[in-house]
Structure 1
Amino acid sequence: MPTNVTPPPQGPWGDKPPAPPDLDQLFNDSFSKFQGFLPGGSFLNFFWLLLLILLGFTAWTSVYTIPSDSVAIVKRFGKYAREVPPGLHFKLPFGIESATTVPVKRQLKQEFGFTTSGAQDPFQNSLNHDEQRETQMVTGDLNAALVEWVVQYRILDPVKFLFEVREPSETLRYVSESVMREVVGDRTVDEVITIGRQEIESQALVKMQTLSTKYTMGISIDQVQLKNINPPKPVQESFNEVNQAQQEKEKLINEARRDYNKIIPLALGEKDQRIREADGYRLKRINEAEGDIARFDALLVQYVKAPEVTLRRIYIETMQQVLPQVHSKIIIDKSTSSILPLLNLEQSNKMLKIGEKR
């Protein structure tokens, strides 16, 4: 029976692939080459190797670099020795001196009630990973609110920051939470959610800085910023409905004030105009009456002197006022017994106007 024999693997040009290297042989060859660089026998070789390792470890534990936004606090056997600026520096090796980097030029922050991904500071977020507990607060009117906020701070004195308070970042979280609960507890839930946010931030900033100075933590609070403030979830829908009703109320009040400011000044202006017109009409009538009285008195004096002449003059002046208002005028001679001989003044005026146009 024919048997299937698997041919040995070949390379791309038909040759056999190289065998894998022997690791033991490779290690022995490398160690032999390393011994060739060392003078003396095997004991001296071990001594020089140990000395080389010791020098490398000494250099590794002696040289350190400080970033540009930080300083280093060097401790000798755990006691403060000196403060080192940014750059490349040396210290005593083998743990005699240790350097702790403190970012004095960087703005740090702590978040309460939420978490930012990628945070390198372990104290930036909640310590016990219970963000809900941090945000639960009771307001001054015995209502509950979920308050989220951020504290931004800087390290002013690295020596106090490291040696005066144990775990200063953790202490700052406790101080911030205590102060925020105190400030929120002095206000109503409406003030916390709406109009009192800026005042809460300012007051919390002052109190946090006061406690930080009292505890000699060596930090400066730059800003306290409130984020989301919501009622508890079981009553959140009802609270939103109340807020919408209040907003609708404010909207209607503003619209009424707008209409009031639009209509009332216009009415007041019309009122003043009517009053001024009435005063003008009153003065006009008074002046006309006084003028008529003066005219009548002057006419009476002339009438006493010459009654017939004055009567004729009054008659003529009256006709001058009356006749222009009469459109059709017919003048009849009183001595005529019939109505045929008459003078049509209306027709005469039309003929005169036609003649003038021609």
Structure 2
Amino acid sequence: MAINDDKGTPWGGKQPSPPDIDQIIKQGLDRFKSGLPGGGASGPLSIVAIVLLIVSIWSAYYTVPSDSVAVVQRFGMYLKEVPPGLHFKLPLSIDQATIVPVKRQLKQEFGFSTPGARDQYQTPRSRDGGRETQMVTGDLNAALVEWVVQYRISDPSKFLFAVREPAETLRYVSESVMREVVGDRTVDEVITIGRQEIETEALLKMQELSTKYEMGISIDQVQLKNINPPKPVQESFNEVNQAQQEKEKLINEARRDYNKVIPLAEGEKDQRIREADGYRLKRINEAEGDVARFNALFTEYSKAPEVTRRRMYIETMQEVMPQIESKILVDDEMGGLLPLLNIGAMKGGKE
């Protein structure tokens, strides 16, 4: 494309024509060929140079996923970490970018494997799968322990350069810690009541060793899965467990009956004690009342014996006479004819 003269400038009053893209590309290729050996002669060497240029441009760009960062090395030396997105690096293996998933939760399984796992260190190797679950407890019993370790990459540079094969090292660390923790407890604690305590202690010790070895790993969770006795003794172990469960069942039933009968007996006991206390207080009060009344009568009797004696006689007769249905009065002074006064008949006649 020719350069516009003065008539083609805005001052000349004529609009410039738009650039031709094909012509620009052709000029660029001609300039690239002119710089090649042989003055741009066509041939295998020029084709190789073009291919090399395209590959260099293609390898200079790379994309980092949203859950990862890229660790860039220049001639094998650590250079920097780059965040997620599209980035540029020097081509021809001058710069190398390694993608590290720092926001993704990774896991390692011991004693079992999940189908479709991509990480070679996530599942146990076939020759070690059964061995790593065989453990000896503190009471010298054997148990097959399966567990899962969930972790994240906290420091990409340490994860890549501080330790050779950090994921494999983590498997060895996890197995060592789990054997230590399980070996401090009885088999009953491992299978039943001690699972939560084992998980917590194993998590702390794994994190401590990961920090000590500068593995760049943060342990999120340690979870026990299946815990079983070895297969040769599994039937006997199940029978023992059934016997223990039956024992617990009978104990619970006995406690239920105890809680049902004992409170009822305690209530009856308290009721009878209160009744006895009430009767005791009643008799004491009656006796004290009788004593006080006798003392009062005795005092009055001392003052006027005849009057008191007559009054006591009259009061006694007032209490006794109404209870007698048939009453006969006899006069001791009369002799011969028996005087008779039938008070009961007279009282009935009036009615």
In the superposition, the TM-score normalised over structure 1's length comes to 0.78
Residue 17 of structure 1 corresponds to which residue in structure 2? Answer: none
SS at match of 1:343: helix
Q: 1:103 Cα deviation (Å)?
A: 0.9
Q: 2:328 aligns with which of 321, 325, 332?
A: 332
How far 1:71 sits from its partner (Å)? 0.4
The residue number in structure 1 matching 2:4 is: none
Q: CA deviation at 1:122?
A: 1.6
In 2, the alpha carbon distance for the partners of 1:91 and 1:156 equals: 24
TM-superposed deviation, 1:82 = 1.1
Which secondary structure state, in structure 2, belongs to the residue aligned with residue 118 of structure 1?
A: coil
2:160 paired residue number: 162
Give me the whole-angstrom Cα distance separating, in 1, the residues matched to 2:253 and 2:303. 75
- Structure 1 CA distance, aligned partners of 2:227 and 2:179? 13
Change (3 A) 1:318 1:146: same
Q: Please give the alpha-carbon distance, in whole angstroms, between the structure 2 residues aligned to 1:268 and 1:80.
A: 81
Partner SS for 1:330: coil
List aligned pairs for 1:1-358, cutoff 5 A: 43-44=41-42, 49-128=47-126, 130-323=128-321, 326=323, 329-334=325-330, 337=338, 342-344=343-345, 347=348, 351=351
SS in 1 for 2:163: coil
Comparing 54-63 and 253-262, the one that deviates more: 253-262
Residue 299 (structure 1) shift: 0.9
Cα distance in structure 2, aligned partners of 1:303 and 1:294: 14
Q: State the alpha-carbon separation in 2 of the partners of residues 74 and 347 from structure 1.
A: 133
Q: For the residues of structure 1 that align with 2:109 and 2:346, how far apart are their CA atoms?
A: 107
Q: What amino acid maps onto 1:77 in structure 2?
A: F
Deviations 1:86-116 (A, max 9, x none): 1111111111111111111111110101111
The change in CA–CA distance for 1:271 and 1:43 in structure 2 (over 3 A counts) is same
Q: Is the 8 A contact 1:112 1:148 kept in 2?
A: yes
- Partner deviation per Cα, 1:125-176 (whole Å, 9 max, x = no partner): 0134542222111112221100000001111110000001000001100110
Counterparts of 1:108 and 1:82 in 2: how far apart (Å)? Answer: 24
Residue type matched to 1:196 in 2? G
Q: Which moved more, 1:125-134 or 1:191-200?
A: 125-134
CA distance in 1, matches of 2:346, 2:190: 94
Q: How far apart are the structure 2 equivalents of 1:120 and 1:267?
A: 68
Over the matched positions of the two proteins, sequence identity in percent amounts to 72
Moved more, 335-344 or 202-211: 335-344
2:294 and 2:120 map into 1 onto residues whose CA distance is 109
Q: Equivalents in 2 of 1:313, 1:230: separation in Å?
A: 99
Read off the aligned partner of 1:202 and give its amino acid letter.
T
Q: Which moved more, 1:201-210 or 1:314-323?
A: 314-323
Partner Cα distance (1:51, 1:346) in 2: 155
Gapped regions of structure 2 (runs ≥ 5): 1-28, 34-39, 332-336
- Counterparts in 2 of 1:67 and 1:345: CA distance versus 1, 3 Å: farther
Q: Separation in 2 of the partners of 1:273 and 1:293?
A: 30
SS across alignment from 1:217: coil
What is the Cα deviation at residue 257 of structure 1? Answer: 2.9
Structure-2 change in CA distance of 1:66 and 1:129 (3 Å): farther
- Alignment CA distance shift 1:333-1:206 (3 Å): same
Give the root-mean-square deviation of aligned CA atoms: 2.9
Letter matched to residue 276 of structure 2: A
Structure 1 segments unaligned to the other structure (5+ residues): 1-37, 352-358
Aligned length: 311
Q: Compute the displacement of 1:60 (Å).
A: 2.2
Report the counterpart of residue 23 of structure 1 in structure 2: none
